[in-house]
């Protein structure tokens, strides 16, 4: 195999999910090139050279990559593919990768595999369907195999051990006038990042109203946890959409996941079932979520959370 991994970055650092994608690519065997399309992203290039398994860094340097627009990035990926003819093109299953890779696949007339969770061979991969209710093993017949990688299913590659030399410049600037980045409102919090935090506290409908999320925020602060939510809680406007865990939200796999007032819909389960330890607190003893809990506690979250906070705080 000779793979290309498309890195997502902010011109300074590589985003974590791309390092998980790198590990998936290393399981394909063979050389690994990475594409850094960015605007003066020299520090990203330096990190990428050192990343485990990387044999070549391809650098497309242009302000056209600001805003991570797929119309621009697809030009760079297609140009890299035309130049090097990779057997695999791999990206993170982040909103960036999910937007970009199918566009690239169509341009190259190749099918695509979304959110792979395992590599079985050069052409055979595993992914889930129906919100994780079934696991499909699939075999690609295309000459170039294009995929996004579920971050929680692969360890992050370390930024050491890479053998790449100076970056190879890619002769494409990604200019286009079809789309334009205007602004971003990133949710600000001092809590750890939900996607990568080792501990996650999650709230659902049982919290009854948005202001009660403060209870979870306070508890999370005491135990260094990220805070997530169910679709019901997000739909009710109790918290922003980037906190949603599940089939259509984020997929997480922390060491410890603690759910409060979450019934455990299959769509939610799809986003957290790979957590190492699952704690479920619900006052309804019949809540289906208890079936997957390592530790289930029937109780009123409004009493349990403050007590847990007192007894677990550092």
Partner 1 sequence: LSLSLSLSVMLSRILVGCKRVVHYQLKPRVKPDKSGVITEGLQHAINPFDEIAMEEAVKLKEAGKVKEVVAVSCGPKAVQETIRTALAMGADRAIHVSMDDAQYEALQPLAVAKLLSKVVEKETPDLVFLGKQAIDDDANQTGQMLAGLLDWPQATFASEVELNEDGKVIKVVREIDGGLETINVTVPAVVTADLRLNEPRYVTLPNIMKAKKKKIEELKPADLGVDISPRIDVVSVEDPPVRQGGSMVADVDELVDKLKNEAKMF
Q: Contacts with partner 1 in 84-123 (CB under 8 A)?
A: 94-96, 98-107, 109-115
The residue within the footprint of partner 1, chosen from 1, 118, 138, 221 (CB under 8 A), is 138
Whichever of 3 and 115 has its CB closer to partner 1, that residue is 115
User: What's the min distance (Å) between Cβ of 94 and partner 1?
Assistant: 5
Write the Ramachandran bin of 303: left for phi over 0, alpha for psi from -120 to 50, otherwise beta.
alpha
Tell me the CB-side half-sphere exposure of residue 160, using CA atoms within 13 A: 0
User: What's the min distance (Å) between Cβ of 277 and partner 1?
Assistant: 5
Does 248 sit near partner 1 (CB under 8 A)?
Answer: yes
Both tokens of 202, joined, read 């999650």
Stretch of 32-40, 82-90, 201-209, 246-254 lying at the interface with partner 1 (CB under 8 A): 246-254
Give residues 260-279 in contact with partner 1 (rule: CB under 8 A): 266-267, 273, 276-279
Nearest CA among 51, 56, 50, 2 for reference residue 23: 51
User: What's the min distance (Å) between Cβ of 30 and partner 1?
Assistant: 21
Whichever of 160 and 183 has its CB closer to partner 1, that residue is 183
Give residues 20-49 in contact with partner 1 (rule: CB under 8 A): none
The residue within the footprint of partner 1, chosen from 42, 122, 242, 283 (CB under 8 A), is 242
Whichever of 122 and 242 has its CB closer to partner 1, that residue is 242
Does 286 sit near partner 1 (CB under 8 A)?
Answer: no
Does 211 sit near partner 1 (CB under 8 A)?
Answer: no
Does 290 sit near partner 1 (CB under 8 A)?
Answer: yes
State how far the alpha carbon of 216 is from the alpha carbons of 102, 198, 271, 282, in Å. 37, 16, 19, 14
Q: Which residues contact 2 (CB under 8 A, 6 or more apart)?
A: 30, 31, 33, 84, 85, 86, 87, 88
Structural contact between residues 146 and 8, judged by C-beta atoms closer than 8 angstroms: no
Whichever of 190 and 311 has its CB closer to partner 1, that residue is 311
Does 9 sit near partner 1 (CB under 8 A)?
Answer: no
Nearest CA among 11, 234, 27, 244 for reference residue 122: 27
The residue within the footprint of partner 1, chosen from 118, 223, 283, 302 (CB under 8 A), is 223
Q: Which helix (H) or strand (E) holds 266?
A: helix 266-272
Please list the residues that pair with 165 across neighbouring strands: none
Cα–Cα distance, 217 to 233 (Å, whole number): 14
Give residues 154-193 in contact with partner 1 (rule: CB under 8 A): 177-187
Number of Cβ atoms within 10 Å of the Cβ of 300: 13
């Amino acid at each position: 195999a000779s793979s290309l991994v498309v890195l997502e970055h902010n011109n300074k650092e590589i985003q974590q999910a791309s390092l998980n994608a790198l590990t998936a690519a290393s399981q394909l065997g063979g050389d690994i090139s990475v594409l850094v399309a960015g605007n003066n992203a020299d520090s990203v290039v330096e990190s990428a050279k050192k990343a485990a398994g990387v044999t070549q860094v391809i650098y497309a340097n242009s302000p056209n990559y600001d805003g991570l627009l797929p119309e621009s990035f697809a030009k760079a990926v297609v140009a890299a593919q035309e130049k090097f003819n990779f057997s695999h093109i791999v990206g993170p299953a982040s909103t960036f990768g999910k937007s970009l890779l199918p566009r690239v696949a169509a341009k190259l007339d190749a099918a695509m595999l979304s959110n792979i969770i395992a590599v079985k061979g050069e052409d055979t991969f595993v992914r889930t369907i129906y919100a994780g209710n079934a696991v499909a093993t699939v075999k690609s017949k295309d000459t170039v195999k294009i995929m996004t990688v579920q971050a929680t299913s692969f360890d992050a590659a370390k930024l050491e051990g890479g053998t790449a030399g100076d970056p190879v410049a890619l002769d494409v600037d990604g200019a286009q006038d079809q789309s334009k980045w205007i602004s971003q409102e990133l949710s600000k919090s001092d809590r750890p990042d939900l996607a990568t935090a080792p501990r996650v506290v999650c709230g659902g409908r049982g919290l009854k109203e948005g202001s009660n999320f403060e209870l979870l925020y306070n508890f999370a602060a005491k135990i260094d946890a990220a805070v997530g939510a169910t679709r019901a809680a997000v739909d009710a406007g109790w918290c922003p959409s980037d906190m949603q865990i599940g089939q259509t939200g984020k997929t997480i796999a922390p060491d410890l996941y603690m759910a409060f007032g979450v019934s455990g819909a299959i769509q939610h389960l799809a986003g957290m079932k790979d957590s190492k330890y699952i704690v479920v607190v619900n006052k309804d003893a019949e809540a289906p979520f208890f079936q997957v809990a390592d530790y289930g506690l029937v109780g009123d979250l409004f009493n349990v959370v403050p007590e847990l906070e007192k007894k677990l705080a550092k």
